[in-house]
Structure 1
Amino acid sequence: MFDLAIPADEALAHRAAELDVKVANATPQDVLETILAERFPGGIAAVSSFGTESAVLLHMISEIDPSTPVLFLDTGMLFSETLDYRDTLQDQLGLTDIRVFKPDQADHDRLDPEDMLWASDTDACCGYRKVLPLGRALDGFGAWINGRKRYHGDSRSNLAVVEADGPRIKVNPLATFDGQDIQSYFVRHHLPLHPLQALGFSSIGCMPCTSRTAEGEGARAGRWRGSGKTECGIHIGDK
């Protein structure tokens, strides 16, 4: 519980820092065990894109508590293979509470009726298709889990395992995992690959803004290629 004598944002940052020290050297599985046992106002949810590496975190969660809410943002521009992969993982892992959130129809009609906003303003497109829906999805939760990793580079290079994020705690259990760790986990636990991975996609988002990556490129090089953009926005600023 927070000390009412301390401003809420300071109390949240203090709790995040304490938890980060507690789990900084723990395995991802132990991080999740610890965090899912914590008592957060409104509980805790995982957020998943059901992309190429998502099965690792989801498998870990399923082994601890398959009823953990998993929030999925269906932007309306995802590959059909991603939607199929979501269903495959839900069935195989026994996840019982996947919640799908979509862009607000009024926002779509006002901002992007032709579905071409991505071509002129990627930030605005991500804003109404991902950032705003995630804000609604996280409403009421005191903490959320995601699959970011330091090896992806850019703003992710120095990820804490636990951090304060606006009005809630954000947990990055896989922060210390690298590409080999991910690959080994898939093999060890016989997890299915995203169907597009075999076609050269190493990180997958919306269709118009995702391209294949060449050998030697970073894992996220195919996202918003050539634009200088590296994040959709859901990990920037308050939710």
Structure 2
Amino acid sequence: MMNWPAGGSDPLLEALQSDHLPDLGHVDMAGLLGDPRLGRRALVSSFGAESAALLHFVTQLFPDMPVLFIDTGRHFAETLSYRDLLAERLGLNLVNILPDPATLAGEDADGRLHARDPNMCCTLRKTFPLADALEGFDTWISGRKRYQGATRAALPVIERDGSHLKVNPLALWTEADLAAYFAAHDLPRHPLVDRGYASIGCAPCTRPVRNGEALRAGRWADNPDKTECGIHLGPDGRFVRGRPGRG
């Protein structure tokens, strides 16, 4: 029998896993997502290449689930159109989240912060806005999957993420599972997928994936040490405002 990967745990996590995810062969995802111990829940979506599957899967069970979209101001126009299409087709309870304009004016006046300091750009445009939005929730739902790359290969289905619980309902899905789900429910693909974009983030930092590359190779391709935007904190993570040395 395969066990869940090692990582931060506590009595609540252990109880939820025992009740709904005792091992990799017994996953009661609907039961987990509906468990009142999760508290106030929100789904966070980038409306990227594979987002429609998670959005459909969760909102078929919980139609009123808030869907948080971080509008960084740097998304592809196609992503915004796709967001609007899915919001209408699936009847989403969509909540658009924006970065603080005063902070952007001070830190990214020329709009080139992504080139100078991509980590700080993600922090200002994604991490801080999401942190503020999640203050009203106890649990958030993510679309990450194990097959997306080495850094996600041991991704748990439920985990601690800073002060929140986080559920990854599609963590154990394969590419074939995802393709079958899109086909079974006639879900539209992101328009950039056909142009080679396997993983889709902000326009300045995303390119198509070349033959033989990993799915997320087109994200921050000019910065090989950067693989995540920083919104996933892990069990000991905390949101920290400002740069070191600033008040």
Note if 1:37 corresponds to 2:35.
yes
Q: Which segments of 5 or more consecutive residues in structure 2 lack a partner in the other structure? A: 1-7, 240-247
Q: Secondary structure at the match of 2:189?
A: coil
Q: What's the CA shift for 1:218? A: 1.2
What is the alpha-carbon distance in structure 1 between the residues aligned to residue 26 and residue 221 of structure 2? Answer: 33
Alpha-carbon contact 1:150-1:159 (below 8 Å) kept = yes
Distance 2:202 2:26 in 1: 31
Q: Provide the identity percentage.
A: 46
Find the aligned partners of 2:204 and 2:100 in 1 and give their Cα distance: 20
Q: Does 1:90 align with 2:91?
A: no
Flag as ranges the 4+ runs of structure 1 deviating above 6 A.
none
Q: Take 1:134 and 1:72, find their aligned partners in 2: how far apart are those partners?
A: 9
- Does structure 1 conserve the Cα–Cα contact (< 8 Å) formed by 2:139 and 2:166? yes
Give the secondary-structure state (helix, strand or coil) at the position aligned to 2:34: helix
Pair 45,57 (structure 1): closer, same or farther in 2 beyond 3 Å: same
TM-score relative to the length of structure 1: 0.89
Verify: 1:210 aligned to 2:206, yes or no.
Answer: yes
How far residue 27 of structure 1 moved from its aligned partner, in angstroms, is 7.5
If the length of structure 2 is used for normalisation, what is the TM-score? Answer: 0.86
2:227 to 209, 226, 230: 230
Q: Distance in 1 between matches of 2:26 and 2:195?
A: 31
CA distance in 2, matches of 1:33, 1:40: 11
Alignment partners' CA distance in 2, 1:33 and 1:58: 17
Name the aligned partner's letter for residue 191 of structure 2.
P
1:25 counterpart residue number: 24
RMSD: 1.7
Of 19-28 and 64-73, more deviation after overlay is shown by: 19-28
Q: Distance in 2 between matches of 1:27 and 1:202?
A: 30
Conserved? CA contact 2:16–2:32, under 8 Å: no
CA contact (8 A) 1:20 1:163 kept: no
Matched residue SS, 2:227: coil
Correspondent of 1:79 among 64, 76, 85: 76
Q: Distance in 2 between matches of 1:59 and 1:76?
A: 25
3-state DSSP of counterpart to 1:139 = helix
Aligned length: 226
Distance 2:60 2:26 in 1: 14
Question: Is 1:16–2:13 an aligned residue pair?
Answer: yes
Equivalent residue, structure 2, for 1:171: 167
Partner of 1:60, secondary structure, is: helix
